[in-house]
């Protein structure tokens, strides 16, 4: 039987995503965030009960048994110290959530529940009352409720297992009640600070010009490429109206920097519209080496003294496509670059090598980012 092992220099086919941006006004609320208005992260440790035999293996997760004993003791149930219940319907979990700004006590937030030990699935389980703490150690919310698990898992007695998505994590929509509010200092000063999502001097300057044109000179001033300080009324009601007006303002952001982003894992390339290529010549070709292996049988002549042996046979074939060269003129744009690559028959995957080569010789007028 002939077995072929082709050794080819190949590149994964790319999904070439072209992002073209045009100059248009954006809402200020889409460009900036307000200093002091932010989420706060919460975390807690709890137990999920009611599982269908898919909980922690307590022999390998002693802290689950310890937590269960502590819980039962608080509920008035005493378990002898030398007794370790072997339960399969309980799992130790980590619970985390984001506390949005301006949330008040009594409101509900979503929580995410993840297994800490070796529970096979949290499907069908219920989280018992779990306090959620902030970085300062204070309790800000309490979580409890039935889990919504998107994954599914099944395991046979012979050890075979089938899993769809991740059944060891789930969510509880509105599963935590806020017990403590996080104070905000948005009204503590005579001004508010707007922080750009992406640092850009042009965008910051245009925001200052727009605000001063509407509210008067000196209302806004740029502190750097990110922060803009804006004078605001001290009265809480007036400040809310003022902030609502700011969020609805239309501003023309500055053009993004020329950048090419290459994802080496997925083979995806994203090229910005401002990418330019200076004069350069690129040759494209491919080399293919194929090795074919087979086995022959060598037999001696009739009544001979030899032995029958198996002899390996190998064939090596080298194929090289005709190399092609194309020239980039000064000021070549993104569309010209893609058109030139397509005309020479290069696969989109070869674009990665071409971009890297152009960057090395200084012909690519853009930042090349590999993630």
Cβ atoms of 230 and 28 within 8 Å: the answer is no
| One domain, residues 49 and 161 | yes
Q: Which residue, 141, 163, 178, sits at the end of a domain?
A: 178
**What's the confidence (pLDDT) of residue 6?**
33
Of 202, 232, 251, the residue that ends a domain is: 251
103 and 59 share a domain? yes
Q: Are residues 123 and 1 in the same domain?
A: no
Which range marks the domain in which residue 88 is found? 40-178
pLDDT given at position 50: 92
Whole-number pLDDT of residue 22: 43
Give me the tens of pLDDT residue by residue for the chain, a chain 371 residues long.
Answer: 333 333 222 233 333 333 334 446 788 989 999 988 889 999 999 999 999 888 888 777 788 888 888 888 888 888 887 777 778 899 999 999 999 999 999 999 999 999 998 888 899 999 999 999 999 999 999 999 999 998 666 665 555 556 667 888 999 999 999 999 988 777 778 889 999 998 889 999 999 999 999 999 999 999 999 999 999 998 888 888 999 999 999 998 887 777 777 776 666 777 776 777 767 666 655 545 555 556 676 777 676 666 777 676 666 565 555 555 556 666 566 666 666 666 656 555 666 677 777 777 667 777 777 77
Per the structure, the count of domains in the chain is 3
Handedness of CA 327, 331, 337, 339 (dihedral sign): negative
What does the CA dihedral 41, 45, 51, 55 come to, rounded to 10 degrees? 120
Task: Check whether residue 238 and residue 163 sit in a common domain.
Answer: no
| One domain, residues 225 and 108 | no
CA–CA gap between residue 190 and residue 339 (Å, rounded)? 55
- CA 218 to CA 167: how far, in whole Å? 56
Indicate if 166 and 70 belong to the same structural domain. yes
Tokens read off for 328: 């980039």
Residue after which a domain boundary falls, among 222, 251, 280: 251
* pLDDT of amino acid 12: 31
Same domain, residue pair 113 and 207: no
Same domain, 44 and 106: yes
Q: Is there a single domain that holds both residue 278 and residue 324?
A: yes
**How far apart, in whole angstroms, are the C-alpha atoms of residue 125 and residue 145?**
9
Residue 354's CB is within 10 A of a number of other CB atoms, namely 19
d(CA 125, CA 56): 12
**99 vs 142: CA distance, rounded Å:** 12
Asked whether residue 195 falls in the same domain as residue 83, the answer is no
209 Ramachandran zone, left/alpha/beta (phi>0; psi -120 to 50): alpha
pLDDT in tens, 300-325: 767 666 677 767 666 656 555 555 55
């Amino acid at each position: 039987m002939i077995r072929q092992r082709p050794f080819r220099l190949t590149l994964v086919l790319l999904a070439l995503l072209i992002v073209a941006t045009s100059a248009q006004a954006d809402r200020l609320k889409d460009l900036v965030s307000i200093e002091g208005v932010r989420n706060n992260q919460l975390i807690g440790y709890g137990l999920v009960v009611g599982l269908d035999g898919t909980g922690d293996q307590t022999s390998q997760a002693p802290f689950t048994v310890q937590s269960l004993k502590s819980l039962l003791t608080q509920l008035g149930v005493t378990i002898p110290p030398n007794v370790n219940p072997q339960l399969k319907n309980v799992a130790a979990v980590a619970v985390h959530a984001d506390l949005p700004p301006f949330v008040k006590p009594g409101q509900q937030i979503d929580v995410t529940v993840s297994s800490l030990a070796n529970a096979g699935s949290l499907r069908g389980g219920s989280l018992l009352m779990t306090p959620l703490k902030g970085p300062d150690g204070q309790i800000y919310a309490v979580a409890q409720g039935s889990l919504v698990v998107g994954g599914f898992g099944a395991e046979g007695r012979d050890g075979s297992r089938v899993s769809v998505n991740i059944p060891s994590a789930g969510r509880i929509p509105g599963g935590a009640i806020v017990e403590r509010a996080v104070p905000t200092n948005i009204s503590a000063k005579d001004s508010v600070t707007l922080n750009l999502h992406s640092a850009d001097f042009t965008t910051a300057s245009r925001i200052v010009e727009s605000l001063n044109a509407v509210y008067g000179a000196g209302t806004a001033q740029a502190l750097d490429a990110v922060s803009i300080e804006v004078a605001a009324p001290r009265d809480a009601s007036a400040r809310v109206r003022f902030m609502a007006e700011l969020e609805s303002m239309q501003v023309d952001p500055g053009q993004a920097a020329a950048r090419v982003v290459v994802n080496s894992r997925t083979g995806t390339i994203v090229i910005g519209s401002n990418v330019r290529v200076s004069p350069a010549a690129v040759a494209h070709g491919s080399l293919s080496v194929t090795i074919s292996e087979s086995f022959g049988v060598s037999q001696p002549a009739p009544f001979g003294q030899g032995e029958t042996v198996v002899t390996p046979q190998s064939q090596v074939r080298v194929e090289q496509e005709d190399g092609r060269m194309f020239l980039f003129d000064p000021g070549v744009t993104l569309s010209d670059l893609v058109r030139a690559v397509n005309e020479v028959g290069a696969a989109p995957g070869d674009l990665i090598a071409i971009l890297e080569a152009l960057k090395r010789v200084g012909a690519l007028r853009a930042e090349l980012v590999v993630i």
